[in-house]
Amino acid sequence: MQIKTILLGAIAILVAAGVATNVANAQAGGGAPAQGGGQGGQRAAGAPPPPMRLTSTDIADGKPIAGKFTCAAGPEAVSPALQWMQAPRGTESFALIVHDMEPRPRKGVDDILHWMVWNMPPTANQLPEGVSATSADLPDGSHQTNGNAGQNGNFGYRPPCPPQEVPVPHHYAFELFALDQKLDLPAAATRADLLKAMDGHIAGHAALVAPFNR
């Protein structure tokens, strides 16, 4: 009887010691595996931030541009509304370039500029339909031009107007750039000037491309 009591006491001591060891290991991080499903008990890396998006209630990517936003509307043509979201952290300004991707004047790398806006504030997330084209300066402090240096009093959006009866439509790219700084450019800046100033400062990019022919 005495031997049995001694054995039971020894077993109880061993069990208690094992429990204490397991508790200590768990508290030291050596117990349950780390959460997150990573291999070797490591946490999975965080997902990258979502890319910047450019959308519009007036035009759709890959769909023909409605007549009211083209030269088919004559002097009543207006710029389409644009909206964007998910700008990258550190954005200090936005720039927009609208251009016709088909023509290649002088067989060069450049094409036809229809509108560009730069130094839109980092809080901006849209351009409304019908931005006024009568001034190079916009109310939010940004600046615009269309490659014609304000001819006929138009500094803003120049509606698409490809040659008539061409079977293949021209494609018009609306490209938005998130930049890590504001740009120091003159009011008469060209697209080449804008591209040069943006080089090395593009934090994000999004685009819509819409066809049009007459």
Task: Write out residues in the chain with pLDDT < 50, as ranges.
Answer: 1-43
Residue 45 pLDDT: 65
Residue 151 pLDDT: 79
Distance CA 78, CA 150 (A): 16
pLDDT digits (tens, 9 = 90+) for 87-108: 999 999 999 999 999 878 777 7
Residue 2 pLDDT: 46
Closest alpha carbon to 145 in 71, 134, 129, 126: 134
Model pTM? 0.77
Query: What per-residue string of b and e applies to 162-189 under the rule 16 or more CB within 10 Å gives b?
Result: beeeeeebbbbebbbbbbbebbebeeeb
Residue 107 pLDDT: 78
Residue 135 pLDDT: 94
Report, in angstroms and rounded to the nearest whole number, the Rg of the chain calculated over CA atoms: 31
What 3-state class would DSSP assign to 113?
A: strand
